[in-house]
Every structure is written in C-alpha cells, then in structure tokens.
Amino acid sequence: MIIRIIQKDDDYVSIGDLVEDLKKSQKVDEAGAIYSFEGFVRGQEENLTVEKLILTTPDVDKAKEDIKSIIETAKVKFGVFDINVVHYIGEFYTGDPLFLVSVLGPHRGETLKALSEVVERVKHEVDFKKEEISNQGTKTIMAGG
C-alpha cells in the first residue's frame, strides 16, 4: 500500500508507478483487475478559465491517517487486495496531476466500486483546501475536516 501526500516538485509519482507497484503484489496471481484514477487540473468550466489551483492541507500526517482509514474500509467492504493513493499539494496549472488512486482486486465489479468509493471519500472527507484562481476571481473549496 502506498499512501503519500507530496509537495509538488519535491517528487513525482505517476499513475503508471502506482499500477506497477500493484503488479508486484503477492496477491497478483489471485487478481483479475486493476483500476486507476488520475485527477488533474481542469482549465475550463462554464464561463470560467482557471489560471491555477493552490491545494493545501493543514496537517499532512492526519490527512495520511484519514486516507489510510478510507483505504482499509474499502479493502474490507469490497474484498480488494491493495489500494495506492497519492495526493499532491502545492500550486498547479491546467493538466497537472493532483490525485492518483489505483486498486488491485479479484474481479472488475468490486475493484471499480472500491476505486469510486476511495476517490469520493478522499475528495469529501480528507481535510484539503483548494483555492481556484480564475478569470472570475478566487474561489476557496474546502473538503473534509
């Protein structure tokens, strides 16, 4: 299991890195599916051009513990073997990766459900603050906490 919160430019992990890690799992012979998610900065929304995002968390250790709890719950609930999560913090521009998740499971159905649940719960329950700077001004979006 990989759980990392990385300051942008301090290190780089790709979705491919997370998938390759899962393929090294002792459970890979019992697995039949890997699903992955890569969330990145969207530059355009209706009547809005995003110039940059600033993503922060007040407590990296607590955020990691919250993510670990979400992962452990999803593994039990859906019977998947392993889940990796990387969340970046810092200043981001269109196309920059923000949030990566990969899941190894026995079948596609439960593996996809586990991926979806982890993505949604991390987005809504972990204490990240997103400042969206656009042609319309600055909008702060809070999650979790």
Strands 48-56 and 82-92: antiparallel
Query: Coil, strand, or helix at residue 138?
Result: strand
What's the pTM value of the predicted model, to 2 decimals?
0.94
Domains and CATH numbers, the chain: 3-142 (3.90.1170.40)
Strands 33-40 and 97-105: antiparallel
What are the backbone angles phi and psi of residue 118, rounded to the nearest 5°?
Answer: -65, -45
Q: Pseudo-torsion of CA 104, 105, 106, 111, nearest 10°?
A: -130
What are the backbone angles phi and psi of residue 38, rounded to the nearest 5°?
Answer: -130, 110
> Could you read off the pLDDT tens digit of each residue along the chain, which spans 145 residues?
999 999 999 999 999 999 999 999 999 999 999 999 999 999 998 889 999 999 999 999 999 999 999 999 999 999 999 999 999 999 999 999 999 999 999 999 999 999 999 999 999 999 999 999 999 999 998 876 4
What are the backbone angles phi and psi of residue 92, rounded to the nearest 5°?
Answer: -130, 155
Which helix (H) or strand (E) is 72 found in, with range? helix 60-78
How many CB atoms sit inside 10 A of residue 42's CB?
Answer: 12
d(CA 139, CA 12): 27
d(CA 22, CA 121): 21
What is the pLDDT, as a whole number, of residue 144?
Answer: 62
What is the pLDDT, as a whole number, of residue 135?
Answer: 94
- CA-derived radius of gyration, the chain: 16
Contact 104, 28 (CB under 8 A): yes
